[in-house]
Amino acid sequence: MNKGMKWGAAVLAAGVLFGGAGVTVGTSVHAAAAKTAAKQDVQPVIVLKANGKTLTQQGKIVNGNTMIPITVLHDALGLPLSYNPGTKTYSIGSGIMKLNLELSDYGVISNLNGYYVYDSINSDQYEAKNLNGHLYVPFKLLNDYMGIKGVWNPSLKSLELGKQAMNDISISSETITKTNKNAGIVIHYPKVSGLAEDVQQKINAVFKEKAEQFAKDSEEKASHRDGKIENVYDFVQSFVVTFNRDGVLSVVIDQYGYTGGAHGSTVREGLTFSLKDGKQLSLGDVLKAAPDYKQKLDSMLKQKTKEVKFNDVTAGLNEKPDFYLKEGGFAIFYQQYEIAPYAAGIPTYAFSFGEVLPKGTDPFAAFK
């Protein structure tokens, strides 16, 4: 057993079941409500491979989701793994791709560097699981947000894990804090480096301007708070990188505000850039090889929203759709209340490029 394997085993030996642990999510606005542990549909194990070798650790299929032990990410892929006993939180990865897994009586609450990934339609596909004292992370979460790829071999029932080839850039998280007696205001926004100076300035100017505008708007709203009868207001901005390959960068930014009442509200924005010239890309820029993409997406979206039956609302493609890129395709989303009640969150629908573009088309050819 090598040093990495010994370390991984030692971390698990510290225990991941904590009786009586409380849920301590600083700002719970982006987090999906933790659900009481229910009986899991756990199916036979999956053989895991990495670097051409078969691993002793195995994956599982839980409720249809392929789950990977977090120790595999450390032992086989070299991602940093740590544990904070004060918050009962395991962390795997680093920087903007640092996945934090907080354990409680209600399950595992996970966030990517402070951003809570949650799918309002398929609520469990991004949920980490505590299975018999061992932590597992959905492969979909790793593939969509942490740059981990997988090659499935159906005959061997094996999944070979590896790291995606990412753009040669660095992305850091900058913070603006404007907390005062009326409100907590904490704003995180991305900053890109490693590009030509004029290109990264153009991209970073967009991120910074949106962050500063949200800070200004939040301070203005907080100035009207009546401290005698209302709770302190809360304003938080967080972000997650959804695609960082092939000369393109796509980022999702969530801006949350609570100004009293039963709950706050979140506004989401997807920002996609060409790293060649810093141009902000529209969905049409990415799908230009399919002149009929609007008609195709409009039809597919109407069908998808009809199937979900949000008060019999069928929503098609907006004139300027909210979208972001993801591995193998893209996602279109609607704001809170736009097509569904608050409880539905931010309805999001994913599409593969193959559903829209002609066969063999490279959507990123113009940006490489």
Which pLDDT belongs to residue 2?
39
Lowest-pLDDT choice from 16-30, 106-120, 128-142, 311-325: 16-30
Contact 75, 57 (CB under 8 A): yes
Average pLDDT in the 213-218 region? 98
Q: How far apart are CA 327 and CA 314, in angstroms?
A: 27
Average pLDDT in the 250-255 region? 98
The predicted-structure confidence for 4-18, as pLDDT tens digits, reads as follows 333 333 333 333 432
Residue found by looking up tokens 């113009």 in the block: 366
Across the chain, how many H-helices and E-strands are there?
6, 19
Which residues in 263-314 belong to E strands, given as ranges?
265-274
Strand partners, 188: 175
Q: How far apart are CA 351 and CA 209, in angstroms?
A: 30
**Is the pLDDT at 122 greater than 70, yes or no?**
no
Average pLDDT over all residues of the chain: 86
Contact 16, 136 (CB under 8 A): no
Strand partners, 135: 130
Q: SS3 breakdown of the chain: % helix, strand, coil, rounded to 5?
A: 20, 35, 40
**Is the pLDDT at 229 greater than 90, yes or no?**
no
Alpha-carbon separation of residue 367 from 232, 271, 293 (angstroms): 45, 16, 19
The predicted-structure confidence for 150-201, as pLDDT tens digits, reads as follows 999 999 899 999 999 999 999 999 999 999 999 999 999 999 999 999 999 9
DSSP for 310-345, please give it: BTTB-----SS-EEEEETTEEEEE--TTTSS-GGG-
pTM: 0.86
